[in-house]
Structure 1
Amino acid sequence: MSDSKALPTIERKDAVRFRVISLALTGALALGLAGCAAPADTPAESADSNADSTGDGHGAIAGAAEVAEPQLGLTWIDPAGMVTHLDLLDESTSEIGTIDAPAAMTTDGRYLFADTGAGVEIVDSGVWTWDHVDHFHYYRAKPLLLGGVEGDGTATVATTNSSTNGGTGISFADSGDAVLLSTEALSKGEIREQFRLEREPHDGLVVPVGSFALVTEPVDGVGATLAGYTDGGEPTGLEEPCAAPAGTITTRVGAVIGCADGALLAHVDDGELVVERIPYPADAPAGAVSSFDNREGRPTIAGLASPTDIRLLDTRARTWTLLTAPTPLVHVTAVDDEDEHLLALTEDGRMLVLSAADGSLLAQTEPLVAASLAAGAAPVLIADQHRAYLSAPVEKQLFEIDYADGARLARTFDTTTEPAFVAETGR
């Protein structure tokens, strides 16, 4: 069974500048495909969680072309709200449009959810991969600005690994509103709220899990428990304590939510919402992970509890690994490949390749994003199967790094706008 989405073979060049041409749509609608039964031996990673709710369309939607390879790109929003897409196959760029100025952005690999402080603006990059567990389908359509979801205060967005079914959760801090969007509706160009629940204001979460969602409930303005709801907003009766919930990510195994004492792992088993508690080891230092990252969908995730305290969670084994970083870090992400690579960004702007077994340094780049870090313009570090991508907002550059080849700088893209909020799309 393939464990990741294949990367197309493309020419690699050092320090190549991209040219500006229009983004072209390719092909016509694909014929229906057969023989896509999922393996029977994956109970905790059920194919049902990735199944397309629209039937046997394999992630296809009207107006989209199925293509033979993933349409990988980097899509970014500048501080003023201009949305730009770089096609990593032919190095062309195109402007998608302009939204309100964002303060933060979250992505599922297709959509960009931009927090503007007065709601969430949604951008469809027009490229995505549909995961059928043992194989993949690749699509391309016209990129679109889909519009916005109203809300007050900072918005925390939680996504799944599917861009054509399931839900997308949004929690608004100032109003307390908990919103679940239909991702299937997004794939058809429509913003549809599955539910909107009123809560006391707090920095909370709405985490989609199959046809359910976990919603934080506060005590004295701080998240204290997670309550289960159907995707129609009906309570399931499930409640799970989680002190100071922060950080969520979806793997093949399920959705992870960070808590002060460890993490919760949520998945659907025989049609029921199930939540498991995975506490930190007894010898873990004080502190907790508030943000997780990994190569999309892989079962192992990584986060920082302090600048040198790396914590890896294997969601299959339900176990933590504690590592000490060789130098202070600002971000870490798990590649979760056969070589157990771990990627990290240092406080002085270098990307490190570390061993996920013992935290030892395997390779590193020069300080590529020092100016951005010094200016408080946070770079984005993204890992996929073969490459890492690192954004440099102040330097106005995007770097492609071959982390398995001594952290070799494979390509450098100069940008005309500041890549403040960057997503790898098409994966």
Structure 2
Amino acid sequence: MSPPTAPFTATVRLACTVSAAVLLLAGCGSDPADVSPAPDSSRTAAAGSAEGTEPHGYVPGAEEAAEPQVRLTAVGPGGEVTVTDPVSGTVSPVGTFPGTSAATGTDRFVFLSNPQEGTVRIVDSGGWTVPHGDHKHYYSADPGDVGSLTGDRPGAIAGNNGQTAVFFGDGTVTAVDHDDLAEGTVDPVSFKVTAHRGAAVPFEGSYLVSQAEPGAELASAVGLYSPDGRELPLPGAGCPELEGHAVTRTGVVFGCADGALLVTAEAGRITATHLPYPAAGLPAGADRARAFDARSGSDELAAVAGTAGAWHLDTAAGTWRLLATEEPLAAAAAAGDGARVLALGVSGSLLSLTVADGALEASAPLAGPPAAGSAPALEIDPERAYVLNEAGAVLEIDYADGLRTARELGTGLSARLLVETGR
């Protein structure tokens, strides 16, 4: 099917309910007189409460800091889980969850999937960020096991707007609220759509959910659903053979056979926009994007492009660019700085690709490809990237300095899965 030559946009006005967290943010003034001074790292949230100046995002027992509280959650071959603080080097064991095959991070929580048992274990990484007007608050607490969700063949997991949704293979969408999880409570809300291999993303008090014809494996459109499962209007949201999704600063992206679908919201208006691949079509060796990755809070995405290299998608501009590589890639992530995409070659090499022209900016060999049973791990934030080497060690990469390995971090195990949270 030939893609359209220009993006197609459809709009619908919707009176959405807004989560309590969003209402709280809206109620916090942005007037300079209302903005507290930058928090001191020695001050705890508990102390702030005792002084009658409880900081925004306060959680009993949490400590407020002056900088992001990044956490690295690692999963070993037997399902052992630890959380590492890369600043202090502290490693906190959380538990052992055999059969864990995938890990997905949100702002604070990590969701560990076990499709064989039909469970999703929820881990509190103990580090998170709360936006507050023109600044942010940073918090830390002890990592721990929160609880689990159960269902038939857990699949795609997506966090947004203070919630996380899990799409199960029988078409059940199950969502949990992060405020509940912070209190140690797992209180899911569920509804069901047609069974397929799909995805659900919390969005503006509702949910964006893939839609498939009965018996189809993949979806052909995206629908908007209320928390009780009522379908709401969302015209122009076709997405043939939907695979892959991501939450960006611009909106929510779904991968389609002919490009991507971008869903945005502004002043109660929900808009679905089609972002087609370049008019020339896919070059030889290139494949469509099937999984997206990027720095949290960015409006840029990257994806593996078959054996041809990496796709870069600028959601703000609505443009795709193919960054060709000599070596096939195992993973790709956008740095979100408008300048580069980082990628892992199948040999274990780390590449930095220039967005403007696709040039190879730098390359660095790691200690070989990831060990058998490991998922390609490439976690990226504004200053550093974290990858796993062949031995399951975490390498901290300064990607602005020619992919220099800044240090090797211990996780207390030979990591097979890695997730960064806290930003």
Q: TM-score range by the shorter chain?
A: 0.7 to 0.9
Instruction: Tell me which residue corresponds to 2:37.
Output: none
Instruction: Answer yes or no: is 1:276 the counterpart of 2:259.
Output: no
Unaligned runs of 5+ in 2: 1-40
**What's the secondary structure of 1:184's corresponding residue?**
helix
Instruction: Tell me which residue corresponds to 2:414.
Output: 418
Query: 1:261 offset after TM fit, Å?
Result: 0.9
Query: 1:335 offset after TM fit, Å?
Result: 0.5
Query: 1:170 offset after TM fit, Å?
Result: 0.8
Superposed counterparts of 1:292-371, under 5 Å: 292-337=292-337, 340-370=339-369
Instruction: Tell me which residue corresponds to 1:140.
Output: 140
Instruction: Tell me which residue corresponds to 1:29.
Output: 45
Instruction: Answer yes or no: is 1:199 the counterpart of 2:193.
Output: yes
Structure 1 CA distance for aligned equivalents of residues 86 and 142 of structure 2: 17
* TM-score of the aligned structures, taking structure 1 as reference length: 0.81
Write the letter of the residue equivalent to 1:370. Answer: P
Asked if the contact 2:207/2:227 (under 8 Å) is kept, the reply is yes
Write the letter of the residue equivalent to 2:414. Answer: E
* TM-score of the aligned structures, taking structure 2 as reference length: 0.82
Asked if the contact 1:129/1:136 (under 8 Å) is kept, the reply is yes
Asked if the contact 2:92/2:143 (under 8 Å) is kept, the reply is no
Query: 1:59 offset after TM fit, Å?
Result: 2.6
Instruction: Tell me which residue corresponds to 2:229.
Output: 233
Identity percentage of aligned residues: 36
**What's the secondary structure of 1:59's corresponding residue?**
coil
Write the letter of the residue equivalent to 1:73. Answer: R
Q: Residues 275 and 58 of structure 1: is their aligned pair in 2 closer, same or farther, counting only changes over 3 Å?
A: farther
**What's the secondary structure of 1:418's corresponding residue?**
coil
Instruction: Answer yes or no: is 1:266 the counterpart of 2:263.
Output: yes
Write the letter of the residue equivalent to 2:75. Answer: I
Query: 1:214 offset after TM fit, Å?
Result: 1.0
1:260-308 superposed Cα distances (whole Å, 9 cap, x missing partner): 1111111222224322221112113163111111111111111123122
Query: 1:112 offset after TM fit, Å?
Result: 0.7
Q: Residues 200 and 233 of structure 1: is their aligned pair in 2 closer, same or farther, counting only changes over 3 Å?
A: closer
**What's the secondary structure of 2:376's corresponding residue?**
coil
Asked if the contact 2:75/2:81 (under 8 Å) is kept, the reply is yes
Write the letter of the residue equivalent to 1:78. Answer: G
Q: Residues 364 and 422 of structure 1: is their aligned pair in 2 closer, same or farther, counting only changes over 3 Å?
A: same
Judge which range, 268-277 or 103-112, deviates more: 268-277
Q: Residues 203 and 133 of structure 1: is their aligned pair in 2 closer, same or farther, counting only changes over 3 Å?
A: farther
Instruction: Tell me which residue corresponds to 1:210.
Output: 204
Q: Residues 166 and 69 of structure 1: is their aligned pair in 2 closer, same or farther, counting only changes over 3 Å?
A: closer
Query: 1:27 offset after TM fit, Å?
Result: 4.9
Asked if the contact 1:129/1:138 (under 8 Å) is kept, the reply is yes
Q: 1:245 aligns with which of 235, 242, 246?
A: 242
Query: 1:232 offset after TM fit, Å?
Result: 4.1
Structure 2 CA distance for aligned equivalents of residues 362 and 136 of structure 1: 33
Write the letter of the residue equivalent to 2:191. Answer: L
Asked if the contact 2:262/2:315 (under 8 Å) is kept, the reply is yes
Asked if the contact 1:341/1:354 (under 8 Å) is kept, the reply is yes
Moved runs in structure 1, 4+ residues, more than 4 A? 30-33
**What's the secondary structure of 2:94's corresponding residue?**
strand
Q: Residues 231 and 98 of structure 1: is their aligned pair in 2 closer, same or farther, counting only changes over 3 Å?
A: same
Q: 2:96 aligns with which of 80, 95, 98?
A: 98
**What's the secondary structure of 2:212's corresponding residue?**
strand
Structure 1 CA distance for aligned equivalents of residues 197 and 43 of structure 2: 44
**What's the secondary structure of 1:148's corresponding residue?**
strand
Query: 1:416 offset after TM fit, Å?
Result: 3.8
Q: Residues 425 and 114 of structure 1: is their aligned pair in 2 closer, same or farther, counting only changes over 3 Å?
A: same
**What's the secondary structure of 2:241's corresponding residue?**
coil
Write the letter of the residue equivalent to 2:343. Answer: A
**What's the secondary structure of 2:298's corresponding residue?**
coil
Structure 1 CA distance for aligned equivalents of residues 63 and 266 of structure 2: 34
**What's the secondary structure of 1:295's corresponding residue?**
coil
Judge which range, 415-424 or 248-257, deviates more: 415-424
Structure 2 CA distance for aligned equivalents of residues 412 and 277 of structure 1: 42
Asked if the contact 1:243/1:259 (under 8 Å) is kept, the reply is yes
**What's the secondary structure of 2:415's corresponding residue?**
coil
Asked if the contact 2:159/2:201 (under 8 Å) is kept, the reply is yes
Structure 2 CA distance for aligned equivalents of residues 354 and 309 of structure 1: 10
Instruction: Tell me which residue corresponds to 1:9.
Output: none
Structure 2 CA distance for aligned equivalents of residues 267 and 126 of structure 1: 30
Asked if the contact 1:256/1:263 (under 8 Å) is kept, the reply is yes
1:290-334 superposed Cα distances (whole Å, 9 cap, x missing partner): 111111111111112312242211111122222212322111111
Structure 2 CA distance for aligned equivalents of residues 260 and 31 of structure 1: 53
Write the letter of the residue equivalent to 1:122. Answer: I
1:178-205 superposed Cα distances (whole Å, 9 cap, x missing partner): 22222332233222223x2223321111
Instruction: Tell me which residue corresponds to 1:52.
Output: none
Instruction: Tell me which residue corresponds to 2:396.
Output: 400
